[in-house]
Amino acid sequence: MVSLRLTRWLMGYVRFSVIGGSPERFLNHCARSGINLWDIRGGANCGACVAAGRYRELRPCARHANAKLKVGGRYGLSFATKGIRKRRGLVVGTLVFIAVLYLLSARLWSIEVKGNTTIPTGQIEAELKELGVVPGTLKSKIEPQILQQKLMLKFTQIGWLSVNTHGCTAEVQLKEKIDRPQIIAQDNQKIYNIKAAQTGQILSMEVYTGTAMVKEGDAVVKGQLLISGVVEDDEGKSTLRGASGKIIASTARTLTTEVERKRRVSGPTGQVVTRRSLNLFGVRVPLSLVEKPIGDYKTEGIHTDLKLMSSVLPISVYEENWSEQQTVDVTLTKEQALVEAKKQMAQKQKEELGDAKIVSMNPSEQIDGSKLLYRELVKCEENIAQESEIIIK
């Protein structure tokens, strides 16, 4: 029904009324003449609709019925555009619009990468650029299968990848591989002793395999044998095994950090130059008339894509902030140097002590010329068991 109405509207139709005479005779005559009428109203306001092109053919029928016809209204595309057709600018504009729309819709204007977690989007986009997929590329030149293969070969961490084009958007949907956990082969053939990793006093011992060579309360030095891999059974026979155990000992260490107080620091002067540009269908249009500043500047850029209904438009704004930098000689005060030294010390503790339990700390600082030396005597409780392989030839 809708298509019929649309067709009638596109072709144009006329609503007319039949005045005087015999409307029935008029209708019969029209039907016999092959003129299709619709929406025929009866009674005093008798009238109907007819295709615009056939209205003239109704006149003989009306004459036969001794009736007169009066046009009630003209409807359809041809009548709706009658006033506009004389305005050439509008017609040309419409044609240009259709042409531009057709030309632009044949190209790709945005690229969306979805599903990546460890691979940066920029890296994938750069690879796509190398493969010739950039905003403005003709859609007909894109071969998804080949693109998929090339991207999979380039990024080995991709498990599955698909390139789809939706309208003017290329969507790269991917799923990264999940690495299977590394299976550590248990090597029962290797024979170990357990030796002391640090000098200290043993607080507790847990021997899983092997023969304990020390006992709780003993003082041990670094490299001393704690658990032997040689195990003697009840019959006096000796066997070699991989010793294992947990030896918690009280240890003491001295950690040192050094902070240079005199330094050259580069900082912003507060003068910032902002440059903006508009990326329209791959063409960069500068919005600011400011040239690139010359000198010591630090640059930061923000790329903002315009989105409509969650799809990226081929319009983006790029903003560059050029911040002027100034290098000055600075001498840190003792307090400032100390704060920095403590930060470094915290990092060092994390690296060297690992999961050892710190019992006490005795810090001290010393200024040596332009340097600040920060020391900490750390007493802690840690597992000093360290495997040492016995190589038998």
Question: Which spans of this chain sit near another protein (rule: CB under 8 A)?
Answer: 23-24, 27-28, 30-32, 34, 36-43, 46, 48
CB of 307 to another protein, least distance (A): 49
Question: Which CB, 4 or 392, lies closer to another protein?
Answer: 4
Question: Which CB, 48 or 372, lies closer to another protein?
Answer: 48
The label of the residue with tokens 């891999």 reads: 229
CB of 51 to another protein, least distance (A): 13
Q: How many CA atoms lie within 13 A of 384 on its CB side?
A: 28
CB of 63 to another protein, least distance (A): 18
Question: Which CB, 25 or 371, lies closer to another protein?
Answer: 25
CB of 65 to another protein, least distance (A): 11
Please state, in angstroms and rounded to a whole number, the distance separating the CA atoms of residues 47 and 39.
Answer: 8
CB of 76 to another protein, least distance (A): 18
Please state, in angstroms and rounded to a whole number, the distance separating the CA atoms of residues 250 and 383.
Answer: 9
Question: Which CB, 22 or 244, lies closer to another protein?
Answer: 22
CA distance readout (Å), 127 to 27, 148, 152, 320? 73, 12, 11, 24
Question: Which CB, 43 or 236, lies closer to another protein?
Answer: 43
At a CB cut-off of 8 Å and minimum separation 6, what does 168 contact? 104, 105, 107, 108, 109, 110, 139, 314
Please state, in angstroms and rounded to a whole number, the distance separating the CA atoms of residues 86 and 260.
Answer: 83
Dump strand ranges (E) for 137-243.
158-166, 169-176, 192-196, 200-209, 211-212, 219-220, 225-228, 230-232, 238-240
CB of 80 to another protein, least distance (A): 24
Question: Which CB, 42 or 268, lies closer to another protein?
Answer: 42
Q: Is 23 exposed, middle or buried (0-12, 13-18, 19+ CB in 10 A)?
A: buried
CB of 27 to another protein, least distance (A): 5
Question: Which CB, 18 or 243, lies closer to another protein?
Answer: 18
Task: Report the Cα 265 to chain-centroid distance in Å.
Answer: 35
